[in-house]
């Protein structure tokens, strides 16, 4: 019997609309992308949603705050950060 392991990829994001399509296209099939929007003004959150990512909003600025919010939102067996 094979066990299915779930994976969430946390992507802290501040104005990354230009990079998101390339990055999200490379998330392996079956893994969930959690884009943590940290106050973007370039439409990153809406773009990420349109590309199939789950978006988490984090109003506290900073990489650590975004990572923490992503970890709290994660539900998978394995969580990784990109």
Q: What is the CATH number of the domain that holds 59?
A: 3.90.550.10
Answer yes or no: is 47 within a domain. yes
Q: How many domains does the structure of the chain reveal?
A: 1
Per-residue pLDDT, 34: 98
pLDDT by 10s per residue, the chain, length 82: 458 899 999 999 999 999 999 999 999 999 999 999 999 999 999 999 999 999 999 999 999 999 999 999 999 999 999 9
Answer yes or no: is 51 within a domain. yes
Write a three-state SS string for 10-28: EEEECCCCCCHHHHHCCCC
Answer yes or no: is 1 within a domain. no
Other CB atoms closer than 10 Å to residue 4's CB: what's the count? 6
């Amino acid at each position: 019997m094979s066990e299915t392991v779930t994976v969430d990829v946390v992507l802290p994001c501040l104005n990354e609309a230009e990079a998101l399509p390339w990055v999200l296209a490379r998330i392996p099939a079956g893994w969930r992308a959690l884009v943590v929007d940290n106050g973007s003004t370039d439409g990153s959150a809406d773009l990420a949603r349109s590309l199939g990512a789950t978006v988490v909003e984090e109003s506290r600025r900073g990489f650590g705050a975004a990572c923490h919010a992503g970890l709290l939102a994660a539900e998978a067996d394995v969580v990784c950060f990109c």
